[in-house]
Amino acid sequence: MSLFEDLIRAKIAELEELKKNLLVDIETRIRREAYALLNKFTGQITSVESEVTLERERIIYEALVNSRRKIAETYENLLKDLIDAVYSEIDKIRGTERYVKFLTFLIQNAINYIQSRDVIIYTSPKDRGVVEAIARSLGITGLISERDMRGGVVVTSRDGGVTVDYSLETIVANKLEELKHLLYLGIQ
């Protein structure tokens, strides 16, 4: 063999070795870059997933708040309708024996509480005649005066020291929580 052939074989062996190392180096670099990109995109994907989760939770919370607000509005509207129906029913039965007994009961309770028959009775203009008749039958002395109210009576001692408010507005306001409870039970 000649020197030239030996040199060529040595160079070919070096090139073969360089080729093997070059492939390993290239594969290693490609893997490093691929892992770096994968880690970068994994972080971005995780960030996007977190943002999506947060947005989903925000949307669910907002929908829950809106649904509860709408339910509360519906209850309030139903309660208002119920109260309006009570006032409407009072207007329908005004002047009936049942309503006269109701007013008589209220006035008797008020004068018993005040412990005097010398009182001022405030009533709705619609109920004035009935209240005057009840006052006469109960032997009440004092004044009967009209007041802007839906029905019922407000009875005051002559000196104004004691007042018993049996107006329909006050009776309904005092029963409001009970009405809400009944309304909510009826809906569920």
Domain ranges of the chain: 1-93, 95-186
Can you tell me whether residue 120 is helix, strand or coil?
A: strand
* Cβ neighbours around 95 below 10 Å, total: 13
Instruction: Output the tens digit of pLDDT for each of the chain's 188 residues.
Output: 577 787 778 778 877 777 777 777 888 888 888 888 888 888 888 888 889 999 999 999 999 999 989 988 888 888 888 889 989 999 999 989 999 999 999 999 999 999 999 999 999 999 999 999 999 999 998 899 999 999 999 999 999 899 999 999 999 988 888 877 776 665 55
* Nearest-angstrom CA–CA distance, 186 and 168: 23
In CATH, the architecture of 95-186 is 2-Layer Sandwich (3.30)
**Can you give the pTM of this predicted structure?**
0.63
